[in-house]
Amino acid sequence: MRITIEKNEQAFDLAAAERIVQQIKEKPESVIGLSTGRTTGNMHRLVAQIHRDQPFDASRATLFGIDEVTGVPRSYSGACYTMLKTEIIDDLGVDEEHFLMLPTESDNLDADCKHFSDELQHRGGIDLLILGLGENGHLGFNQPGTSFESTAGVGSMDSKWVWLTYG
Protein backbone atom coordinates (compact mmCIF):
# COMPACT_ATOMS: atom_id res chain seq x y z
CA MET A 1 0.00 0.00 0.00
CA ARG A 2 1.24 3.46 -0.88
CA ILE A 3 0.06 6.42 1.22
CA THR A 4 0.33 9.87 -0.31
CA ILE A 5 -0.02 13.06 1.72
CA GLU A 6 -0.22 16.38 -0.10
CA LYS A 7 -0.30 19.98 1.12
CA ASN A 8 -3.82 20.70 -0.17
CA GLU A 9 -6.75 19.26 -2.07
CA GLN A 10 -5.58 20.51 -5.46
CA ALA A 11 -2.15 18.92 -5.06
CA PHE A 12 -3.77 15.68 -3.91
CA ASP A 13 -6.17 15.62 -6.87
CA LEU A 14 -3.29 16.08 -9.29
CA ALA A 15 -1.14 13.42 -7.60
CA ALA A 16 -4.05 10.95 -7.62
CA ALA A 17 -4.87 11.72 -11.27
CA GLU A 18 -1.25 11.15 -12.22
CA ARG A 19 -1.30 7.86 -10.29
CA ILE A 20 -4.31 6.65 -12.31
CA VAL A 21 -2.62 7.63 -15.58
CA GLN A 22 0.63 5.96 -14.50
CA GLN A 23 -1.24 2.74 -13.62
CA ILE A 24 -2.86 2.60 -17.07
CA LYS A 25 0.43 3.32 -18.84
CA GLU A 26 2.39 0.72 -16.82
CA LYS A 27 -0.29 -1.99 -17.08
CA PRO A 28 -2.68 -1.33 -19.98
CA GLU A 29 -5.06 -4.11 -18.78
CA SER A 30 -5.37 -2.61 -15.30
CA VAL A 31 -8.56 -2.95 -13.28
CA ILE A 32 -9.19 0.38 -11.58
CA GLY A 33 -11.99 1.23 -9.17
CA LEU A 34 -13.32 4.77 -9.06
CA SER A 35 -15.67 6.36 -6.57
CA THR A 36 -17.93 9.33 -7.10
CA GLY A 37 -18.64 12.42 -5.07
CA ARG A 38 -17.03 15.63 -3.98
CA THR A 39 -13.77 13.93 -3.03
CA THR A 40 -13.02 12.43 -6.44
CA GLY A 41 -14.82 14.43 -9.16
CA ASN A 42 -12.01 16.88 -9.79
CA MET A 43 -9.48 14.03 -9.84
CA HIS A 44 -11.48 12.35 -12.64
CA ARG A 45 -11.62 15.58 -14.62
CA LEU A 46 -7.84 15.96 -14.24
CA VAL A 47 -7.27 12.46 -15.65
CA ALA A 48 -9.45 13.45 -18.62
CA GLN A 49 -7.46 16.69 -19.03
CA ILE A 50 -4.14 14.82 -18.93
CA HIS A 51 -5.53 12.47 -21.61
CA ARG A 52 -6.49 15.44 -23.81
CA ASP A 53 -3.10 17.13 -23.35
CA GLN A 54 -0.94 13.98 -23.57
CA PRO A 55 -3.04 11.20 -25.15
CA PHE A 56 -2.50 7.65 -23.91
CA ASP A 57 -4.33 4.41 -24.66
CA ALA A 58 -6.88 3.51 -21.98
CA SER A 59 -8.90 1.15 -24.19
CA ARG A 60 -7.70 -2.08 -22.54
CA ALA A 61 -8.08 -0.92 -18.94
CA THR A 62 -11.21 -1.89 -17.02
CA LEU A 63 -12.62 0.98 -15.01
CA PHE A 64 -15.39 0.27 -12.54
CA GLY A 65 -17.51 2.27 -10.17
CA ILE A 66 -17.42 1.22 -6.55
CA ASP A 67 -20.79 2.72 -5.70
CA GLU A 68 -24.18 3.25 -7.26
CA VAL A 69 -27.52 4.70 -6.29
CA THR A 70 -30.50 2.45 -6.99
CA GLY A 71 -34.07 3.00 -8.08
CA VAL A 72 -33.26 5.55 -10.78
CA PRO A 73 -32.42 5.19 -14.48
CA ARG A 74 -28.73 5.20 -15.43
CA SER A 75 -29.37 8.42 -17.35
CA TYR A 76 -30.25 10.24 -14.11
CA SER A 77 -27.61 12.92 -13.41
CA GLY A 78 -27.19 11.67 -9.83
CA ALA A 79 -26.46 8.09 -10.89
CA CYS A 80 -22.83 7.19 -10.28
CA TYR A 81 -22.77 5.63 -13.76
CA THR A 82 -23.63 9.00 -15.34
CA MET A 83 -21.18 10.90 -13.14
CA LEU A 84 -18.27 8.64 -14.09
CA LYS A 85 -19.26 8.65 -17.77
CA THR A 86 -19.22 12.44 -17.91
CA GLU A 87 -16.21 13.02 -15.63
CA ILE A 88 -13.76 10.46 -17.04
CA ILE A 89 -15.03 7.43 -19.01
CA ASP A 90 -16.14 9.18 -22.20
CA ASP A 91 -13.04 11.39 -22.32
CA LEU A 92 -10.76 8.35 -22.06
CA GLY A 93 -12.63 6.52 -24.82
CA VAL A 94 -13.40 3.54 -22.58
CA ASP A 95 -16.11 1.35 -24.12
CA GLU A 96 -18.97 -0.31 -22.22
CA GLU A 97 -17.14 -3.67 -22.15
CA HIS A 98 -14.37 -2.04 -20.12
CA PHE A 99 -16.62 0.09 -17.89
CA LEU A 100 -18.24 -2.02 -15.18
CA MET A 101 -21.00 -0.67 -13.00
CA LEU A 102 -23.55 -2.15 -10.70
CA PRO A 103 -27.09 -1.63 -12.03
CA THR A 104 -29.24 1.26 -10.94
CA GLU A 105 -32.38 -0.82 -11.39
CA SER A 106 -32.63 -4.55 -10.72
CA ASP A 107 -34.95 -7.32 -9.63
CA ASN A 108 -32.08 -9.04 -7.79
CA LEU A 109 -29.35 -6.72 -6.50
CA ASP A 110 -27.72 -9.47 -4.44
CA ALA A 111 -27.19 -11.62 -7.56
CA ASP A 112 -25.98 -8.57 -9.49
CA CYS A 113 -23.45 -7.79 -6.75
CA LYS A 114 -22.13 -11.36 -6.83
CA HIS A 115 -21.83 -11.27 -10.63
CA PHE A 116 -20.03 -7.91 -10.39
CA SER A 117 -17.52 -9.23 -7.84
CA ASP A 118 -16.98 -12.39 -9.90
CA GLU A 119 -16.35 -10.32 -13.04
CA LEU A 120 -13.71 -8.22 -11.28
CA GLN A 121 -11.94 -11.40 -10.19
CA HIS A 122 -12.23 -12.84 -13.71
CA ARG A 123 -10.43 -9.75 -15.01
CA GLY A 124 -7.54 -10.33 -12.62
CA GLY A 125 -8.66 -8.48 -9.51
CA ILE A 126 -8.24 -4.86 -8.56
CA ASP A 127 -4.96 -3.13 -9.40
CA LEU A 128 -5.84 0.33 -8.11
CA LEU A 129 -8.78 1.48 -6.00
CA ILE A 130 -9.57 5.15 -5.49
CA LEU A 131 -11.80 5.82 -2.48
CA GLY A 132 -13.41 8.96 -1.16
CA LEU A 133 -13.77 9.73 2.53
CA GLY A 134 -17.21 11.03 3.51
CA GLU A 135 -18.26 13.50 6.15
CA ASN A 136 -19.56 10.73 8.42
CA GLY A 137 -16.36 8.72 8.00
CA HIS A 138 -17.59 6.43 5.24
CA LEU A 139 -14.82 5.15 3.03
CA GLY A 140 -15.90 4.47 -0.54
CA PHE A 141 -19.56 4.24 0.59
CA ASN A 142 -18.68 1.68 3.25
CA GLN A 143 -20.47 3.09 6.25
CA PRO A 144 -18.70 3.18 9.62
CA GLY A 145 -18.75 -0.31 11.10
CA THR A 146 -18.73 -2.15 7.75
CA SER A 147 -16.44 -5.17 7.85
CA PHE A 148 -13.26 -4.95 5.77
CA GLU A 149 -13.94 -8.54 4.69
CA SER A 150 -17.16 -7.49 2.92
CA THR A 151 -17.64 -7.79 -0.83
CA ALA A 152 -20.21 -6.15 -3.10
CA GLY A 153 -23.57 -5.76 -1.41
CA VAL A 154 -26.53 -3.52 -0.75
CA GLY A 155 -26.34 -0.96 2.00
CA SER A 156 -28.38 2.01 3.18
CA MET A 157 -27.75 5.66 3.63
CA ASP A 158 -30.64 8.13 3.41
CA SER A 159 -31.97 5.95 0.58
CA LYS A 160 -30.97 2.59 -0.89
CA TRP A 161 -27.41 2.49 -2.22
CA VAL A 162 -25.21 -0.26 -3.54
CA TRP A 163 -21.69 -0.36 -2.17
CA LEU A 164 -18.62 -2.37 -2.87
CA THR A 165 -15.70 -3.10 -0.63
CA TYR A 166 -12.76 -5.45 -0.76
CA GLY A 167 -10.81 -6.43 2.34
User: What pLDDT is attached to residue 119?
Assistant: 95
In single-letter form, the type of residue at position 24 comes to: I
Task: Tell me the HSE value of 115 on the side-chain side, using a 13 A CA sphere.
Answer: 10
CA separation for the pair 153, 87 (Å, rounded) = 25
Name the band, by pLDDT with cuts 50, 70 and 90, for residue 146: low
Residue 165 in this model has a pLDDT that exceeds 50? no
Q: Give the model's pLDDT for residue 167.
A: 35
pTM over 0.85: no
Distance in angstroms (rounded) separating the CA atoms of residues 61 and 123: 10
The four Cα atoms 136, 11, 165, 120 give a dihedral, to 10 degrees, of: 160
Averaged pLDDT for residues 110-119: 91
Q: Residue 160: pLDDT band by 50, 70, 90 thresholds? A: very low
**How does pLDDT run across 72-85, given as a tens digit for each residue?**
999 999 899 999 99
Examine the pLDDT at 41 and tell me if it is beyond 80: yes
Q: Average pLDDT of the chain?
A: 83
User: Which of 46-60, 71-85, 148-162 is the most confident on average?
Assistant: 46-60
- Report the 10 Å Cβ neighbour count for 3: 4
Second CATH level (architecture) for the domain 9-163: 3-Layer(aba) Sandwich (3.40)
pLDDT at 139 over 60: no
Extents of the domains making up the chain: 9-163
| DSSP-assigned letters across all residues of 26-72 | H-TT-EEEE--STTTHHHHHHHHHHHHHS----TT-EEEESEEE-SS
